[in-house]
């Protein structure tokens, strides 16, 4: 079982459905927790690097990616950023920092390294 004594911090319940997104604050950092359509949980920086849109309010999950609705930048569960053009071409863009997480005891946890 995880506890704050060993560096693990509970950030939300694990009942986040596939496609769900929730904003959280870890220390002084704004983050989003999202679940891919395949069920993979991900904890990632909250702001799109393009124009700083907050992904908890301006994001949507499409398959295995979190898409910023402001200008349609897409981010993988690994944080890699892409822009998909109308013709389907994908151009590499700015990445987001991903915080490793685990799902245990009905919660999603991150480990804070001091």
Distance CA 79, CA 45 (A): 9
**Average pLDDT over every residue of 31-43:** 97
Give the pLDDT band of residue 6 (cuts 50, 70, 90).
confident
Domain with 36, as residue range(s), is: 22-111
112 closest CA partner among 1, 16, 25: 25
**Domain at 47, CATH number:** 2.102.10.10
Query: In total, how many domains does the chain have?
Result: 1
Q: What is the mean pLDDT of residues 76-95?
A: 92
| pLDDT value at 37 more than 90 | yes
Average pLDDT score over the chain: 92
Which conformational region is residue 86 in: left (phi greater than 0), alpha (psi within -120 to 50 degrees), or beta?
alpha
Q: Is residue 46 part of a domain?
A: yes
Whether the pLDDT of residue 3 is over 90: the answer is: no
Q: What Rg, from alpha-carbon coordinates, does the chain have?
A: 14
Residue 1 has pLDDT above 60, yes or no: no
């Amino acid at each position: 079982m995880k506890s704050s004594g060993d560096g693990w911090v509970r950030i939300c319940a694990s009942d986040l459905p596939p496609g769900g997104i929730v904003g959280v604050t870890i220390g002084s950092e704004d983050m989003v927790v999202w679940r891919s359509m395949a069920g993979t949980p991900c904890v990632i920086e909250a702001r799109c690097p393009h124009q700083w849109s907050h992904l908890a309010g301006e994001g949507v999950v499409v398959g295995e990616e979190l898409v910023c609705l402001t200008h349609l930048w897409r981010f993988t569960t690994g944080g890699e950023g892409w822009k998909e053009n109308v013709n389907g071409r994908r151009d590499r863009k700015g990445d987001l920092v991903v915080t490793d997480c685990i799902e245990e005891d009905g919660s999603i946890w991150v480990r804070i390294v001091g």
